[in-house]
């Protein structure tokens, strides 16, 4: 069945899906890595494709920016399309001087300044974590490919242009980077009893002020894509 945001029919989407924020990155992945890819969605230009990678059926779809946006797409994927493995791939901003531009960050857990988990009416603060199975497979892939990577906590924030330097406080707690979606993704996956993992390429540094271009973010962050596809192929 289709939804207001997704034109896919039942069976069009694989049980494992890669979720870049940028729909154009989804298109790049489908063209560069997937065999016999078929487009299943273009509603709101949020492109989605399904093909095969190393003989395994894999989908890729954009989610947009921020927790409200990924919340819509991830919720529909698990509720209406029976997706079991959701792997976010995107960019992040380093908040420590040890996390370098171009390196890969794997989000073992996600902290947040968002109220996203309020909907679950929990009696405390929810710690959103990745699927250990997906994370361990990602680490194995990164090591075998000899990629530069880190595993640790990240911060999912609702604010892109922040008037304060709150990131410094998160850095003191050992967090590696900022982004805007993964806490919501991990909450949705936990509530649905499915697997989720977030992988990032460091696109800029709040510490040094270094940054990559929009074109580089769209086309060149292939390491995390290869790791995500390795994980998908192993499932």
pLDDT (tens digit, 9 = 90+) per residue, 73-113?
Answer: 999 999 999 999 999 999 999 999 999 999 999 999 999 99
Mean of all residue pLDDT scores within the chain: 96
pLDDT of residue 218: 67
- Of 3-12, 44-53, 212-221, 226-235, which gets the smallest average pLDDT? 212-221
Distance CA 181, CA 90 (A): 9
Q: Band of the pLDDT at 63, cuts 50, 70, 90?
A: very high
Short-list 80, 107, 104, CA closest to 187? 107
Q: How many domains does the chain have?
A: 1
How far is residue 190's CA from residue 194's CA, in Å, rounded to a whole number? 6
* Residue positions annotated with a catalytic role: 204
Which region holds residue 53: left if phi is over 0, alpha if psi is between -120 and 50, else beta? beta
The confidence score (pLDDT) of residue 211 equals: 93
Predicted TM-score of the model (pTM)? 0.97
Q: Is the pLDDT of residue 1 over 80?
A: no
Whether 52 has a pLDDT exceeding 70, the answer reads: yes
Q: What are the phi and psi torsion angles at 131 (to 5°)? A: -70, 125
Within-domain flag for 11: no
Domain that holds residue 42: 16-234
The answer to whether residue 10 is domain-embedded is no
Q: What CATH number did the domain enclosing 135 receive? A: 3.40.50.1580
The verdict on residue 5 lying in a domain is no
Segment (H or E) for 93: strand 85-94
pLDDT of residue 215: 77
pLDDT at 34 > cutoff 70: yes
CA 53 vs CA 11, 106, 127: distances in Å: 17, 21, 33
**Does residue 94 form part of some domain?**
yes
Quote the CA–CA distance of 29 and 62 in Å, as a whole number.
11
Q: Is residue 114 part of a domain?
A: yes
Confidence of residue 145 (pLDDT cuts 50, 70, 90): very high
Backbone angles phi, psi at 140, to 5 degrees: -60, -45
9 assigned to some structural domain: no
pLDDT of residue 152: 98
8 Å CB contact between 111 and 187: no
- DSSP run (H or E) holding 29: helix 23-32
Residue 3 lies in a domain: no
């Amino acid at each position: 069945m289709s939804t207001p945001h997704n034109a896919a029919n039942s069976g069009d989407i694989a049980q494992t899906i890669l979720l870049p924020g940028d729909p154009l990155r989804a298109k790049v992945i489908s063209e560069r890595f997937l065999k016999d890819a078929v487009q299943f969605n273009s509603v709101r230009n949020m492109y989605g494709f399904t093909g095969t990678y190393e003989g395994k059926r894999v989908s890729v779809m954009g989610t947009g920016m921020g927790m409200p946006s990924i919340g819509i797409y991830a919720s529909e994927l698990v509720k209406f399309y029976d997706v079991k493995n959701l792997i976010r791939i995107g960019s992040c901003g380093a908040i420590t001087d040890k996390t370098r531009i171009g390196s890969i960050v794997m989000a073992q857990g996600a902290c947040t300044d968002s109220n996203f988990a309020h909907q679950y009416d929990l009696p405390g603060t929810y710690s959103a974590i990745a699927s250990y199975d997906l994370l361990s497979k990602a680490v194995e892939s990164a090591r075998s490919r000899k990629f530069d990577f880190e595993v640790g906590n990240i911060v999912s924030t609702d604010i892109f242009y922040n008037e304060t330097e709150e990131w410094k406080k998160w850095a003191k707690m050992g967090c590696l980077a900022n982004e805007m979606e993964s806490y919501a993704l991990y909450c949705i996956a936990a509530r649905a009893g499915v697997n989720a993992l977030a992988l990032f390429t460091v696109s800029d540094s709040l510490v040094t002020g270094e940054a990559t271009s929009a074109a580089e973010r769209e086309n060149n962050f292939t390491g995390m894509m290869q790791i995500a596809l390795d994980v998908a192929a192993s499932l």
